Chains A and B, each alone.
Chain A
Amino acid sequence: MIAVAIDEDVDKVRAFTDGITYPVLIDADHLLTELYAISNVPTVLLIDEDDRIAHPNWSAFATDTFREITGIDSAAQLAAIRAWVLEGTIPIDPDDARDAVGDLSSEEEQAKLWFRIGVHLHHAGDDEQAGTAFDTAAALAPHDWTVRRAMLPLRGGDPFGQGYLDLAAEYNAAGRPYHGVASARNA
């Protein structure tokens, strides 16, 4: 088990990790969102002994804490993961796996780079130029949560407040585009 925080706030991430013994890594530059075309968290990947992706980007939750919001039943996902670990049961047809994620568009690629520039400017104390970079990123990839929601705390916003609700409304209106397997929904 390897947990990677798509996050530059080490203190906030550390707060989640009490009692955790597996590696928790910090991906401040959002490298994995480029390498694996990750557009939201949590995203889970199953990788086998030979570095083959047994299951690509999966909007998977370990508990049903958010089931009312997402409609995702964690039991089915946990069962599939357990069967893969214990019995080697293939969790998804490889042809479906290849179609599941979708490559990043040129705009989505650029958005991630503009986000990174915004973070740098924010840390350099130039929030005006950071804001311009963040606005550019948001316009290029309006449905990439690793860009739009991640920037909220860097701009003095609350990623659990109205900004989040506005993002969710936009995202729903756009048909919930997600680079990966969204999981069967009950809702």
Chain B
Amino acid sequence: MTDEPILLADGPLVELDRLDATIGWTLKPQGLCRDETCVIVPDRSALERDGLIDVTAVAALLDRPSVVDGGSGIAAIGAPRAARRGALVDLVAPDFVLPDLDGTPHALSDHRSKKRLLVAFSSW
């Protein structure tokens, strides 16, 4: 799922043909696209730096927060804000996929049509 957290250990600048693998969206003439959805890119040059694509600029277009650590060079991209606002304002539970203790992925939507009690806990 491309809305999952992204960590770019080598920094936010990637080759154009690596953009899809990095963030799940592709730059096409009609804009930034994923499957059948495209987002208009008002200023394509704002996405580019040194001949590479700045993934944090792409993230901003997708309304996802980002941080670049100047010290280590690592870039982190967060989840789409729209998903959280859907939860808080529309009371719609955003789907997610996470592994169990054996590594098997489970989605919230695996149990759709059932009431679910979601408990977030920790060892700390």
Quick check: B91 and A56 within 8 Å, CB to CB? Answer: yes
10 additional A-B residue pairs with CB within 8 Å, beyond A53-B92, A146-B122: A1-B119, A2-B119, A31-B79, A37-B87, A41-B120, A42-B121, A117-B67, A117-B74, A153-B123, A159-B124
Chain A residues with Cβ below 8 Å from B121 are: 3-6, 16, 41-42
Chain B residues with Cβ below 8 Å from A7 are: 122-124
Q: Can you give 28 contacting A-B residue pairs, CB < 8 Å? A: A1-B117, A2-B108, A2-B117, A3-B119, A4-B98, A6-B121, A6-B122, A7-B124, A15-B123, A17-B101, A24-B101, A25-B100, A31-B4, A34-B78, A35-B87, A36-B87, A41-B121, A44-B117, A44-B120, A45-B120, A47-B116, A51-B92, A98-B89, A101-B87, A113-B78, A114-B69, A117-B74, A117-B76
Tally of chain B residues near chain A (CB < 8 A)? 48
User: In the assembled complex, how far is the CB of residue A4 from the closest CB belonging to chain B, in whole angstroms?
Assistant: 5
Q: 1/0 per residue A137-155: CB within 8 Å of B?
A: 0000000001001101100
Quick check: A29 and B92 within 8 Å, CB to CB? Answer: no
Is A14 close to B, CB under 8 A?
yes
List residues of chain B with CB under 8 Å of any chain A CB.
4-5, 7, 9, 65-67, 69, 71-72, 74, 76-79, 83-85, 87-89, 91-96, 98-101, 106, 108-109, 111-124
Quick check: A110 and B65 within 8 Å, CB to CB? Answer: yes
User: In the assembled complex, how far is the CB of residue A82 from the closest CB belonging to chain B, in whole angstroms?
Assistant: 11
Chain B residues with Cβ below 8 Å from A43 are: 119-120
Quick check: A45 and B118 within 8 Å, CB to CB? Answer: yes
CB nearest to A158 among chain B residues: B124
Quick check: B69 and A81 within 8 Å, CB to CB? Answer: no
Is A94 close to B, CB under 8 A?
yes
User: In the assembled complex, how far is the CB of residue B91 from the closest CB belonging to chain A, in whole angstroms?
Assistant: 4
Quick check: B99 and A12 within 8 Å, CB to CB? Answer: no
Which A residues, 128 to 178, have Cβ-Cβ distances below 8 Å to chain B? 129, 132-133, 146, 149-150, 152-153, 159
Quick check: B65 and A35 within 8 Å, CB to CB? Answer: no
Most buried by B among A17, A36, A98, A159: A36
